[in-house]
Structure 1
């Protein structure tokens, strides 16, 4: 074992000596790096790496000033001081915080030019009657990237479908990202909504202008909505149509929530289909409020939802207003008693 270690040591020593010899030989052919950097007679190097002299001209000063004037920033607010384009957007009422909450929007807004890009979009929106343009851009800053010409074509499409100026204004104001959809897709979805709920052209325009997201939903979801109401709650097609016209946003309720709400209205509150259709917006109300207030009225034996009987309480009156108004005008009890009762839930 000892003999083996001696042989290994001799072998390693021999290799080190060879490497040392090679290093001395190579050093004869290697020019020190400092001599290359400081050489003044190498014309090729001067051509590839032009001579740099801070004393000549003001390029360095400009570079330093640019770096200082446009700092590295993490938010749009950091750039406002240095960007007249962002300042103009703020003057319009655009919320930079809302813009930053949307992925990719901050970079878009930071690099866009007010003239002509933003100005053309603003002019177009004003032409169709949009007043709170800053709010529209805050909710959908990607309209600025879409471009005025593309937006103009989509607005002209709505006009060709007989949407009124008021309806177009409402649509753009409430759901501006609707204008990001392709015309082919929009046309197909409008046709689907019309067919599924058996709407006339006028009814379709009314439904979409009041709840633009209806035309953005997956067609399968709309069909499922109709099937559930028909199969599980025995609503006829014309009754479902009336529900959609009365509360277009009800179509956006998920299947689970729709079943829970309809079960509570029909099984716990014992409402008929006609009573629900009289004010279908009850489906969009917060379930906590519906349950708490109905429970209070039931405890007080005031839960009368039949309009033909004394003590009638409409569904709208049940869920509207503050708790104080409900206690004073409907339940006729002190507010603290109401709160004490719902704590038992």
Structure 2
């Protein structure tokens, strides 16, 4: 409430309170020097008796609009103006109600986090009462702290960090509603940008999933960051455990084939049921999933067609099919055209008999997953130049999986020292497959050769 003493003797204090009001209700929580100088709605309160209520309203509203105050500030000015009108008219009935209205409008937006530092001895309620112009309830110490605070703000540089700290008395409109601002990045080149926000990705990492490898699969990263771990991922993990996959292998399975998490369990079970109908045991299926689980996301018709083609091409029995594909399931999902090309290269170009091609497939089936025109053709040319027959290759097909550079160098070295004998019936026999096996140290040790001589030879190559 305003009293005559306030109007006559406390004008400076009223001005300070209004400055604090403007600071608290400014749009950004800052009070610029310009706004302090221009806007002082109580500047003419001492002359209120000589002016009409209409002129006071007009002056206050015009001053508020010129400074660019918000609609909330204009509303509060209107409340304060009506408050002054009731004081002049002697209306004491609604004065307490109007004062509480002003106080509630202020307290709803004040951020009290910084008050403990800015006002050492005054409480928030005391400062609010001063702002509400209820000066009779404020002691001299409270008013002194308000004046000191405003004077300190005046001396600060508006562009400084301290200015922002001193004038950040308003909370963000959404802060009191507990809205989180940790929004997901809209675009990112790596799934790692979402780990901080996604519980699903965090737990997949804890399971041993390599997300850097997973993000190389098309579209799977966008799928994973939208999944709920307990609702969408856990059932798939439990299903893999039911199939016989150990916990330590789950991370590797999901890294090599994250599409398992995308396909429904019913579809995965359809593939498992098909393999069981072909007499694959549960242990075989579990090992196949760990070694190469990509077959799980294939259609049953595709798997059946692939197995039938390979069985017919290499003239395999049912037991041979189950044995080979349980150990090398990668052949099920491998491109059938590449397998046919390697078979054609052996049989039609290099003249291998069908029985010899079958023997190569049974002993070293992964050679049929290599590229026919570059890899396999180059290795066959080098072995042919070494004098290796097709029969010998069908007996020792492991040399076809070795580096052709390494095979050629070791063969040349053995030829120089007179030990290039790959016939077990001759003295000084050397295993053909050993040319592509072992490290340098182990190979020299097995051949009973000085490593220094072999390393010196490599420098002259």
TM range (shorter): 0.7 to 0.9
Question: How far off is 1:63 after superposition?
Answer: 8.4
In 1: Cα distance, 2:177 partner to 2:369 partner: 54
In 2: Cα distance, 1:331 partner to 1:286 partner: 22
In structure 2, the residue matched to 1:198 is 315
In structure 1, the residue matched to 2:455 is 339
Deviations 1:286-307 (A, max 9, x none): 2122112112111211111111
Give the one of 208, 229, 235 matched to 2:352.
Answer: 235
TM-score (norm 1): 0.76
Question: How far off is 1:228 after superposition?
Answer: 2.1
TM-score (norm 2): 0.58
Q: Which runs of at least 4 in structure 1 moved beyond 4 Å after TM superposition? A: 69-73
Give the one of 120, 135, 138 matched to 2:255.
Answer: 138
In 1: Cα distance, 2:252 partner to 2:194 partner: 20
In 1: Cα distance, 2:402 partner to 2:259 partner: 31
In structure 1, the residue matched to 2:96 is none
Secondary structure at the residue paired with 2:309? helix
Secondary structure at the residue paired with 1:93? coil
In structure 2, the residue matched to 1:91 is 206
Within the alignment, does 1:311 sit opposite 2:428 as a pair?
yes
The 5-angstrom pairing of residues 64-213 of structure 1 reads 65-68=179-182, 70=184, 74=188, 75-131=190-246, 132-213=249-330
- Kindly tell me: are residues 140 and 219 of structure 1, through their superposed partners in 2, closer, same or farther at Cα, counting changes over 3 Å? closer
Question: How far off is 1:94 after superposition?
Answer: 0.8
Q: Please give the root-mean-square deviation of Cα atoms over the aligned residues, in Å.
A: 2.7
Within the alignment, does 1:263 sit opposite 2:381 as a pair?
yes
Secondary structure at the residue paired with 1:235? coil
Question: How far off is 1:222 after superposition?
Answer: 3.0
In 1: Cα distance, 2:193 partner to 2:279 partner: 45
In 1: Cα distance, 2:458 partner to 2:344 partner: 35
In 2: Cα distance, 1:161 partner to 1:107 partner: 36
Total equivalences in the alignment: 292
- Kindly tell me: are residues 342 and 222 of structure 1, through their superposed partners in 2, closer, same or farther at Cα, counting changes over 3 Å? same
Can you give the 5+ residue segments of structure 1 that lack an aligned partner in the other structure? Answer: 1-37, 39-53
In 2: Cα distance, 1:94 partner to 1:260 partner: 37
In 2: Cα distance, 1:324 partner to 1:141 partner: 40
- Kindly tell me: are residues 296 and 146 of structure 1, through their superposed partners in 2, closer, same or farther at Cα, counting changes over 3 Å? same
In 1: Cα distance, 2:272 partner to 2:286 partner: 10
Question: How far off is 1:193 after superposition?
Answer: 0.8
Question: How far off is 1:59 after superposition?
Answer: 7.7
Whether the 8 Å CA contact 1:250–1:283 is kept in 2: the answer is yes
Question: How far off is 1:78 after superposition?
Answer: 3.2
In 2: Cα distance, 1:296 partner to 1:232 partner: 30
Secondary structure at the residue paired with 1:318? helix
Whether the 8 Å CA contact 1:210–1:248 is kept in 2: the answer is no
Secondary structure at the residue paired with 2:392? helix
- Kindly tell me: are residues 97 and 219 of structure 1, through their superposed partners in 2, closer, same or farther at Cα, counting changes over 3 Å? closer
Question: How far off is 1:218 after superposition?
Answer: 4.0
Question: How far off is 1:198 after superposition?
Answer: 0.8
Within the alignment, does 1:221 sit opposite 2:338 as a pair?
yes
